Amino acid sequence: MNRQKVIVIGAGFAGLQFMRNLKEDLYEILLIDRQNHHQFQPLFYQVATSQIEPSSISFPIRRIFQGRDDISIRMAEVEALDLEKKQVRTDIGVFPYDLLVIATGAKTNFYGNKQIAENALRLKSTHQAITIRNSILENFEKFLSTEDEEERNRLLNIVIVGAGPTGVELSGAFAEIKRDILPKDFPHIDFSQLRILLIEGGPHALAAMSEASRAESEMYLKKLGVELILHTTVTAYDGKSVTFSNGSSLPTSMVIWAAGVTGNWLEGIPETSRQKGNRIHVDRHNKAIDVEGIYALGDIAYMETHNYPKGHPQLANVAINQAKNLAKNLNSKKDPSEWKEYEYKDLGSMATIGRNKAVVDLPFVHFKGYFAWFVWMFLHLMLILSVKRKLFIFINWTSNYFTKNSSLRLILNGKEDMET
């Protein structure tokens, strides 16, 4: 009866870790999320390229918290916050809180270009990954049924915008299925004509990684046949033709936008708390600056430290450890002046570009190739929540590695099947 009411908005890495580490006997928790499942974002690109099942990286929230009587779950859309009344207004009702933890993450940033936002594909959810998979496969089916050369040319150009980890991993995966899988499925299509273009506004791919990783990733992409175009941005895309900052254009029916993210801002948060990228300004304890009873975690949180004066990188490791630190501080029941401050420990970064091709930057060492690829697979497998799903993913990876094939190329577009 005396437990404080805590509302957590968002069931990403930060939200889940916070709830898992909060003591059951001290708090009454309500989780609000628009989905009923947690999504493992680092492997979205493998769903998009038919390498693993969507269910392998989607985890029902109610299953995760079975046996936790202190946790309630509501699938709802948050409409606004009322800070004075300490209430969260949603499309299913209004919920009061004593403490509010915002872990809403980030969404694709189109930098105000509405035309691109309306026509480009994005990769920030399982559903969007399935949409990309459907679109790719449907394009090849359309290719076989049209004699229009202009349309055929458009269907054989894939443009990926943004050469960060998502763009690099996605383009590398597409290049491998172009070489090893698609010719088996569509023997009447000349896949030597399929172009995969990776567009980057800066001077390098994987700009946040070491110089060695940048150079090696670009070398791997070139070997795979990916056309890496640097110092270039996309200025327009109408669904049929993409225009670049150098004035050139290219006919294409597929543009995948992976060029940046912006925070999922909630109405009711004071504008004084808004920082670059729609992030909430927080102190070293993840408490929102100048706002009582509100905390922000993960991608939505903007925390300035000596080592990160412009905020932390939006990584799973940051989100997880911020959540653990906040839960530990709240569990201690100490005065906030005695709380432990969050300090990010950079454990390194990594990216995979394809089979046996990866780059890893650790604090004191850099390596590449097969061993880096193995380390990437192992660490991502360990982050998967369910042992059962770890096994399924491992089996898929092993099968794909030896057979260079996959049985997951299903078009699931929601069209009603005809009864027979």
Cα 234-235-241 angle, rounded to 5 deg: 80
Cα distance between residue 37 and residue 148, in whole Å: 42
Same structural domain, 214 and 85: no
pLDDT, tens only, 283-294:
999 999 989 999
**DSSP symbol at 313:** -
Tell me if 276 is assigned to some domain.
Answer: yes
Q: Model confidence over 315-371: pLDDT tens digits?
A: 999 999 999 999 999 999 999 999 999 999 888 899 999 889 999 999 889 999 999
Classify residue 97 by its DSSP letter.
-
Domain-embedded: residue 294: yes
Indicate the average pLDDT of the chain: 92
Does some domain include residue 333?
Answer: yes
Give the model confidence (pLDDT) of 13-53 as tens digits: 999 999 999 998 899 999 999 999 999 999 999 999 988 88
Q: Is the pLDDT of residue 383 over 60?
A: yes
CA dihedral sign, ordered 138, 143, 147, 151? positive
DSSP one-letter string for 2-25 = -PEEEEEE--SHHHHHHHHHS-TT
- Strand 195-199 to 157-161 pairing: parallel
Residue 357: per-residue pLDDT: 93
Share of the chain above pLDDT 70, in %: 96
Domain assignment present for 330: yes
Same domain, 154 and 239: yes
pLDDT at 398 over 80: yes
Residue 411 lies in a domain: no
**204 shares its domain with 316:** no
Residues of the chain by 3-state class (helix, strand, coil), percent to 5: 35, 25, 40
Residue 161: give its domain's CATH number. 3.50.50.100
Euclidean distance between CA atoms 228 and 40, whole angstroms: 27
Q: Can you give the pTM of this predicted structure?
A: 0.91
138 and 239 in contact (C-beta within 8 Å)? no
- Residue 220, pLDDT score: 96
Say if residue 97's pLDDT is above 70. yes
Residue 418 confidence (pLDDT) above 50: no
Number of structural domains the chain divides into: 2
Domain of 334, in residue numbers: 4-34+76-108+261-338
Q: How far apart are CA 380 and CA 382, in angstroms?
A: 5
Co-location of 274 and 229 in the same domain: no
Please give the C-alpha separations between residue 337 and each of 21, 166, 317, 366, in angstroms, as whole numbers.
21, 39, 25, 39
Q: Would 21 be classed as within a structural domain?
A: yes
- Predicted local confidence at residue 416, as pLDDT: 52
Q: Is residue 410, in this structure, part of any structural domain at all?
A: no
CA-CA distance, 229 to 173, in Å (whole number)?
A: 18
Listed residue (249, 244, 121) closest to 174, CA to CA: 121
Distance of alpha carbon 197 from alpha carbon 41, whole angstroms: 23
Say whether both 123 and 184 belong to one domain: yes
> Do 269 and 366 belong together in one domain?
no
Same domain, 132 and 237: yes
Q: Is residue 154 part of a domain?
A: yes
Element of type H or E holding 372: helix 369-383
Over residues 157-198, the pLDDT tens digits come to: 999 999 999 999 999 999 999 998 899 889 999 999 999 999
